Amino acid sequence: MTTVLIGLGATVASAAPSRYEAETAPVVCTGTIDANHAGYSGTGFCNGDNAVGAAVRLTVTTSAAGTATLDVRFANGSTTARPAAVLVNGTSTQTVPFAPTGAWTTWVTTTVTVPVTPGTTTIGFSPTTAGGLPNLDYFDLTGGGPSPSPSPCAPPSSSSPPPQGQVTVWLAGDSTVADPSGGTVCPAGWGSQFAQYFTSDVTVRNSAVGGRSIQTWLYDPNVTSTKNPAGECVVSPETYSSRWQAMLDPTTGMKRGDYLLIQFGINDGTSACPRHVGSARYQQLLGMMATAAKARGAHPVFLTPPAALTCSGSTAVGNRGFVTETNSAGSANAVPVIDLHRLSYTLYNSLRFCPFNGDYGSGPVGAFFCDDHTHFEPSGARQIAGVVTRALRDQQIPLATYLR
Ligand code: GCU
Ligand code: CA
């Protein structure tokens, strides 16, 4: 069972409904925040664990006693109802049937009324059968008296300073980020050289894996070699990879104040499945990862992929895709973007790697790259890691306060 603790404390508005997205504070989702079934509002929905008692909870603050109305938007693409007890401060008041809606992309609203008292009231939906809850999109709350404060509390923001103490930096990426494997030194991703730049308060958990697109990283081994009519690789079953599940784990995964650095876009451009990822899907998956990190109080950061060494005469130039997509996903999700693509070829230029005679076995280029223009020797990886840390400082990303 996974529990996504998003935060507590909110206010019931007196007239217009207050919308509580299931993926955002103050809603608590026992399950995962997903975005793989279209039609939801906000940035995702709560996919509750399929188990009796895997509840979703919402704590509201009201100034008057009375009855509040809750419109619950859900999708139940299974063929059976997913009944749930409505718990008001822990006491069951009624059962909602959550009947099948025909498809996971068909979202409907059901209304429940709940008694509220002045102060806080916790409203829970606790499934009574092994199927668990349907997927839940949002709760619209009306009534409960005048608001004692104007708005629900905001989820942790990526610009707020990290709490003091131990911070874990989680890395998701491909071979240009990954630790060297199988006793070899090459290729070494920049993630393997990152920790040395930080104080002992920072632990780097490098979960980057060579050859992965964002989608295969998230869903291994379930991305098939088949494309759907929209041109995307079919994912079946839609079960997350163990590496992403480890980051989502409520006790040992991402926690408040941690960072999640995400860098893909090299393998994603492959035309064939399972690696292929289209533009929109790439941005959707970045958004889904950012939402999951934020739901745990962690701070996501997106990176564009480092450039391969390509010389145009005596100038190193850019050559990677998914740069625009990464920037757009950053804007759409209010996530800072480190443009490692530009910063890396700028580094190649400052190191005067161009023009280049093609010999990766000797000279400064040979010491930086493995036997190709993409992968780094440990020394190259250390310099790329240094570029990332300088960007943290330059962009005033609060993780920089932990740099040595
Ligand atoms: C599918 C579906 C999920 C849903 C789950 C369930 O896996 O993709 O969104 O939550 O079924 O049965 O609960
Ligand atoms: Ca579910």
Say yes or no to pLDDT of 293 above 70: yes
Q: Quick one: pLDDT at residue 91?
A: 85
- Give the residue whose CA is nearest to atom 6 of ligand 1: 50
* Distance in angstroms (rounded) separating the CA atoms of residues 124 and 58: 6
Structure tokens at 261: 């650095």
Question: Confidence class of residue 154 from pLDDT cuts 50, 70 and 90?
Answer: very low
- Sign of the Cα torsion 89, 256, 208, 281 reads positive
Q: What is the mean pLDDT of the chain?
A: 89
Cα-to-centroid distance, 99 and ligand 1 (Å): 14
Say yes or no to pLDDT of 11 above 60: no
In ligand 1, the atom with minimum distance to the C-alpha of 48 is 10
Closest CA to 322 of 276, 284, 274, 283: 283
Q: What is the 3-state secondary structure (H, E, C) of 263-303?
A: ECCCHHHCCCCCCCCCHHHHHHHHHHHHHHHHHCCCEEEEE
The response to whether residue 129 sits with its C-beta less than 6 Å from ligand 1 reads no
In ligand 1, the atom with minimum distance to the C-alpha of 132 is 13
Cα-to-centroid distance, 105 and ligand 1 (Å): 11
Residue with tokens 């999109």, as numbered in its chain = 137
* 44 touches 178 (CB < 8 A): no
The response to whether residue 105 sits with its C-beta less than 6 Å from ligand 1 reads no
Residue with tokens 């223009």, as numbered in its chain = 373
* 243 touches 217 (CB < 8 A): yes
Per-residue buried b or exposed e for 324-358, using 16+ beta carbons within 10 Å of the residue's own CB: ebbebbbeebebbbbbbbebbbebbeeeebbebee
The response to whether residue 101 sits with its C-beta less than 6 Å from ligand 1 reads no
- Give the residue whose CA is nearest to atom 8 of ligand 1: 238
Q: Quick one: pLDDT at residue 156?
A: 45
Q: Quick one: pLDDT at residue 188?
A: 97
Closest CA to 78 of 96, 97, 52, 104: 104
Structure tokens at 51: 């188990």
* Distance in angstroms (rounded) separating the CA atoms of residues 256 and 298: 5
The response to whether residue 2 sits with its C-beta less than 6 Å from ligand 1 reads no
Residue with tokens 């419109």, as numbered in its chain = 71
Q: How many residues does the chain have?
A: 404
Q: How many CB atoms lie within 10 A of CB 314?
A: 11
Cα-to-centroid distance, 142 and ligand 2 (Å): 27
Q: Which of 74-83, 160-169, 223-232 has the lowest mean pLDDT?
A: 160-169
Q: How many CB atoms lie within 10 A of CB 109?
A: 12
- Give the residue whose CA is nearest to atom 5 of ligand 1: 47
More confident site: 17 or 305? 305
Per-residue buried b or exposed e for 240-252, using 16+ beta carbons within 10 Å of the residue's own CB: bbebbeebbeeee
* Distance in angstroms (rounded) separating the CA atoms of residues 63 and 72: 22
* Distance in angstroms (rounded) separating the CA atoms of residues 374 and 169: 24
Q: Which of 67-71, 264-268, 284-288, 396-400 has the lowest mean pLDDT?
A: 67-71
In ligand 1, the atom with minimum distance to the C-alpha of 45 is 9
Q: Quick one: pLDDT at residue 25?
A: 81
Pocket test residue of 47, 133, 137 for ligand 1, highest count of atoms within 8 A of CB: 47
> What is the mean predicted confidence (pLDDT) over 173-196?
95
pLDDT digits (tens, 9 = 90+) for 350-394: 999 999 999 988 899 999 999 899 999 999 999 999 999 999 999
Q: Quick one: pLDDT at residue 164?
A: 57
* Distance in angstroms (rounded) separating the CA atoms of residues 177 and 261: 10
Q: Quick one: pLDDT at residue 309?
A: 96
* 34 touches 65 (CB < 8 A): no
pTM of the complete model beyond 0.85: no
Say yes or no to pLDDT of 165 above 90: no
